[in-house]
Structure 1
Amino acid sequence: MSQLELLIDKLQCGHLKGLKPYESARRLFSGGQDWLNANESPFVGQFSLNTQKLNRYPDCQPKSVLSAYADYAGLTAEQLLVSRGADEGIELLIRAFCTPGRDRVLICPPTYGMYAISAETFNVGVDKAPLKADFSLDLEAMAGYRDKVNLVFICSPNNPTGTQVAGEQIEAALELFADSALVVVDEAYIEFASDTGWAKELVRFPNLVVLRTLSKAFGLAGIRCGFTLAAPAIIQVLLKAIAPYPLPEPVAQIAAQALSPKGLEWMREKVMLLNQLKTELTTQLNDIPAFTPVGDIQANFILVRAEQKQALMDYLVGRGILIRDQSKQVALNNCLRISIGDIEQNARLLAAIHTFYQEQA
């Protein structure tokens, strides 16, 4: 080992040495024609930028963004925190409510990988209550962690299964952990779902926290803007842990425009279109004998179990079509997640899949 490698090995936090970074879509693949692996929108709106304030530090919590999202979600600004994506909201909750080396969080796999990785990065333990075969919560298993965890992460609609957790199950989880943990319902995909989510239940359940984002339905993954919705007392604790200037001025300007009446109208039109394209693509994929549908389609992606999974992935990548392998997740062997693209992207995907299986016959 070099002198620098020896120094790094000596100084690096022990709990990080065995930690594998989250394999984001951009880390896995650096090029492609059709990006169908990161649950991004294929559409982007038009925004303007006022550069007159770029020489000044931005507001920690821009009022224009908070008030606009509060109106959208039916809340007050005191119930909101805006951050660098919902991912920062996850980190802030762990930093603010878990003591490193002592406390633990609970996740329900298969689910979004950043809950566990964020916890492990801060030397916080991770317990698991896997979802049942139908991807519903295993409340009996979760009950075994009462008084043992500080945070419970529930993704609904769930990434990568596309399923929503039944309202009575989330209510049961909130009651189960009412006096011992915060229950964090991640609603990154709520705009695509068949119900409106849990934002308006914050008063009824003081230990409820909801995560939201502009990355999916709003088509703004590139600006990294997310929201944590919670009781004002919880928001005040999170403000102790957040960076002084978490939201760059250009991001705040674009977010405020996206949340304007015109921006919301654009978002709702695109969600309607994507849900239509999702239904059509689901029907077409279900007609492929080598595919078995898995989960539900309450988000902006489809999950399938595919014969010759790896060969198909390699074939698609070789043609610039990128989808996401989910087979490392519990109960998702040979599963592929496909983000909904525009008409042309979906057509190229289907054509390539059909060609692959025809060549294998």
Structure 2
Amino acid sequence: MKLQPAHFSLEYAIRPNVLATSASITSTYDESQPRTSVVLDANENPFGSCLTQGSFTLPMNGSTSIDSMAAIGFAETASLHRYPSASQAQLKSAIAAWKGLPSGGHVCLGIGASDLIDLTIRITCRPTRDAIMITPPSFPLYKARADLNEVNAVECPLKTGEGEDLFQLRMMDQLHKNPQIKVVFLASPGNPTGTLIPLSDIRQILDFPSFRGLVVVDEAYIDFSDGISALSLLDTYNNLVVIQTFSKMHGLAGIRVGAAFAHPDIVEMMHRMQMPYSISTPSSTLALLALSPAASQARRLAKAQITANRASLRSALAELNSLGVGVPLDGGHANFLLVPILKCGTTQRDGTRARTLVTRLKEEWAVSVRYVGEMPGLQACLRIAVGTKAENARLVEGLLAILA
């Protein structure tokens, strides 16, 4: 089947210097091109990692932690003195199979989703000339990375209570008036709104003939939702990039692995811009393990628990309405609540009270929540992640003590 849309052109969407260059080529280890038994081509340390049993004198009292011993054992078996796979073909193929994609050629790996957001801007937008579109309130990193890359960020704000049709019309009008826009960033579910964008709305933007750039759907929180991923559109559209991560539902924020899914031609452009060896051996090893049946079962159990805890936290906060804890505004598709803080006994939002609450929760109760009141439409709002039952209970206890 021929890919859509007909108006999309790689030559228009991608920066000329990226089109003209080649991907970084390395002669070191890759799954498809095994190295020889005598490896003298990469200036590595031939004697192995310094993190080996023989390199350490263990304390006489045996106080070396189990975690330290496990790390040393991993270092001895993972060939950490060698550079990691250049292509990460094994991990990409495994992720592609897990997502139902034809091949690993549809996958670009990055140092978390944030890296892939920046990478998308850099392959498309010429500094001081091109632009991205964002829909605040949304993930602040979109604009932050645009600013650092000297790329303008055109805003099409989400407005509380505005119908989807009117928002679509405003977005189309902006895209028509601003041909320099090369990327549209859509967070679905949104952060900090927790709202899911219907696939029909995403299709409208992909099909819009006045926009010839890339549509990026940031799905960092999609695993917390029962909604359908935009990955289902990849076999139809070659102007779509979907970004996901191992940081959230997988519970692997510490390994910093994200994945961008797109047409292989787009993935190739991303590879050309990347630094070599962007994914470390420990990170790729753990990401592969996260795709195992056992890890998948653990993920399903975690989702069920987070969903239940989200509902119970929402109910507990409702009991504090009379103290100025407003009804959560989020769409319920992520692992957090978006909570406005009000003047006690009114429906008026109180930014000073909200900021004070954040400070006192941290200092008096060792509970951290995020103030997001500086974002458009979110005056005096807190983003509160769903924790364990005990963590949620401590939060509610702290709120009650401070606000009563």
Could you tell me the TM-score, scaled by structure 2's length? 0.75
CA contact (8 A) 2:340 2:382 kept: yes
Question: How far apart, CA to CA, are the structure 2 residues paired with 1:304 and 1:159?
Answer: 13
Partner of 1:339: 385
Q: Deviations over 1:66-87 (max 9, x none)?
A: 1221122111211101110011
Partner residue in 2 for 1:291: 325
Paired position in structure 1 for 2:200: 168
Q: CA deviation at 1:314?
A: 1.7
- Opposite residue 294 of structure 1, the aligned amino acid is L
2:88 maps to a residue whose letter is P
What residue is the counterpart of 2:37 in the other structure? none
Encode CA deviations 1:311-338: one digit per residue, 9 max, x unaligned.
2112101121000000000000000000
User: Which residue in 1 is equivalent to 2:175?
Assistant: 145
For residue 49 of structure 1, report the CA deviation from its aligned partner: 3.6
Amino acid corresponding to residue 317 of structure 1 in structure 2:
K
- TM-superposed CA distance for 1:132, in Å, is 2.5
Q: Is the 8 A contact 1:134 1:295 kept in 2?
A: no
In the alignment, what sits opposite 2:100? 74
Which of 313, 320, 341 pairs up with 1:306?
341
SS at match of 2:305: helix
> Higher RCO, 1 or 2 (CA under 8 Å, sep at least 6)?
1
Q: In structure 2, what is the Cα distance between the partners aligned to 1:340 and 1:166? A: 24
Q: Which amino acid aligns with 2:400?
A: H
For residue 126 of structure 1, what is the aligned residue in structure 2?
153
Do structure 1's residue 83 and structure 2's residue 110 form an aligned pair?
yes
* Counterpart residue type for residue 349 of structure 1: L
- State whether residues 177 and 183 of structure 1, in contact with CA within 8 Å, keep that contact through their aligned partners in structure 2: no
Which residue number corresponds to residue 395 of structure 2? 349
Tell me whether 1:117 sits opposite 2:144 in the alignment.
Answer: yes
Deviation at 1:117, TM superposition (A): 0.6
Shift of 1:178: 7.3
Shift of the 135–122 alpha-carbon distance from structure 1 to 2, 3 Å rule, reads farther
- Cα deviations by residue, 1:45-68 (Å, 9 ceiling, x for unpaired): x99946432011111331232122
Question: AA paired with 1:140?
Answer: L
Partner of 1:37: none
Distance 1:122 1:324, change over 3 A: same
Cα shift readout 1:244-278 (whole Å, capped 9, x = no counterpart): 01001100111100111211111121111111111
The residue identity in structure 2 corresponding to 1:88 is: D
Name the stretch that deviates more: 91-100 or 177-186: 177-186
Relative to structure 2, which stretch is displaced further, 260-269 or 330-339? Answer: 260-269
Structure 1, unmatched stretches of 5+, are 1-45
* 1:86-136 Cα shifts (integer Å, max 9, x gaps): 111011111111111111000000000111111111111110000121477
Partners of 2:126 and 2:221 in 1: CA distance = 30
Which segments of 5 or more consecutive residues in structure 2 lack a partner in the other structure? 1-69, 343-352
C-alpha RMSD of the superposition: 1.8
| Partner Cα distance (2:230, 2:316) in 1 | 32
CA distance in structure 1 between the partners assigned to 2:209 and 2:276 by the alignment: 32
Are 1:103 and 2:149 matched, yes or no?
A: no
The whole-number CA distance in structure 2 between the counterparts of 1:267 and 1:135 is 35
Which moved further from structure 2: 65-74 or 77-86?
65-74
Sequence identity (%):
32
Q: Distance in 1 between matches of 2:96 and 2:339?
A: 36
CA distance in 1, matches of 2:337, 2:316: 12
Cα distance in 1, alignment partners of residues 152 and 263 from structure 2: 25
Question: Which letter maps to 1:296?
Answer: G
* Structure 1 residue 158 corresponds to structure 2 residue 202: no
State whether residues 188 and 211 of structure 1, in contact with CA within 8 Å, keep that contact through their aligned partners in structure 2. yes
Q: Residues 230-309 of structure 1: matches in 2 within 5 Å?
A: 230-289=262-321, 290-292=324-326, 293-307=328-342, 308-309=353-354
Q: Which structure has the larger Rg over C-alpha atoms?
A: 2
Could you tell me which residue of structure 1 aligns to residue 212 of structure 2? 180
Check the 8 A contact 1:74/1:200 in 2, yes or no: no
Q: How does 1:47-62 map to 2 (within 5 A)?
A: 49=74, 51-62=77-88
Residue of structure 2 equivalent to 1:212: 244
Q: How many residues align?
A: 313
Q: Does the 8 Å CA contact 2:78/2:281 hold for their aligned counterparts?
A: no
Partner Cα separation in structure 2 for residue 254 and residue 177 of structure 1? 42
Assess, with a 3 A threshold, how the Cα gap between structure 1 residues 179 and 173 changes in structure 2: closer, same or farther.
closer
* In structure 1, distance between residues paired with 2:369 and 2:338: 10
- Identify which range, 135-144 or 75-84, moves more after superposition: 135-144
